[in-house]
Amino acid sequence: MKIAGRAALVTGANRGFGRHLAAELLARGATVYAGARNPESVDLPGVTPVLLDITDPASVAAAAKLAGDVTLLVNNAGVSTGADLLEGDLAQIRLEMETHYLGTLSVVRAFAPTIAANGGGTILNILSALSWITFPQVGAYSAAKAAEWSMTNTLRTQLADRGVRVAGLHVGYMDTDMTARVTAPKSDPADIARIAVDGIEADRYEIIADETSRQVLAGLSGGAAALYPDLP
């Protein structure tokens, strides 16, 4: 898939990794719709701001109608509440699932027919190494990302014969507002955006963006003992 000349929509494009993705697509010659709950906060020159709350079906439908020429959809919008699965607020845990799983699915359902009708294209879901491994402090986020990963695999098989490629990006921590309190090493989101778009152009189904994700992926075959060596 060549990016130049494509129409792309990036959700959560007003800041953080989404803004870097939009900038990278724009630099490669795409027409970019920048989805955000507050489109006035989109400050990237050259993009078209679009009101888009992925948890609001009416907002999703309106965005799909407005961006009717899209052949590349990047599902980046997300949230990290830090909710504890055992003691945290269930409303926050639901928000994680409503955003990463049901919200992303809602956007795919709205745009997939458009992409197919426009001759085919690509959907990229921004996943995480935390869809494969988890820790108590990110339990709600990881559970929602794991659900999104499973959804990505299902949609990949369902949409393949319609000319719509569904890919997933796995990455560890990036240096964005969402990880401001994280002290672990972080990748430069601009670098990861380039890797992501390279992966789209190479028609990869799975884009493993950093060493953390490669190590976790390698550990999956070892089961719980490999991923959680401190378990008694």
The pLDDT of residue 180 is: 67
Task: Please work out, in degrees rounded to the nearest 5, the angle formed at the alpha carbon of residue 177 by the alpha carbons of 176 and 181.
Answer: 100
Task: For residue 13, give the nearest of 58, 55, 57, 52 by alpha carbon.
Answer: 52
The pLDDT of residue 60 is: 98
User: Strand locations in the chain, DSSP E?
Assistant: 7-10, 31-36, 48-51, 72-75, 121-126, 164-170, 206-208
The pLDDT of residue 48 is: 98
pLDDT reading at 209 higher than 90: yes
Global pTM reads 0.94
Average pLDDT over residues 165-183: 86
β-bridge partners, 122 = 72, 165
User: Are the beta carbons of 67 and 82 closer than 8 angstroms?
Assistant: no
User: Are the beta carbons of 127 and 168 closer than 8 angstroms?
Assistant: yes
Query: For all residues of the chain together, what is the average pLDDT?
Result: 95
pLDDT in tens, 12-21: 999 999 999 9
For the beta carbon of residue 51, count every other beta carbon within 10 angstroms.
15
Average pLDDT over residues 176-197: 85
User: Are the beta carbons of 48 and 85 closer than 8 angstroms?
Assistant: no
Give the pairing type, strands 206-208 and 48-51. unpaired
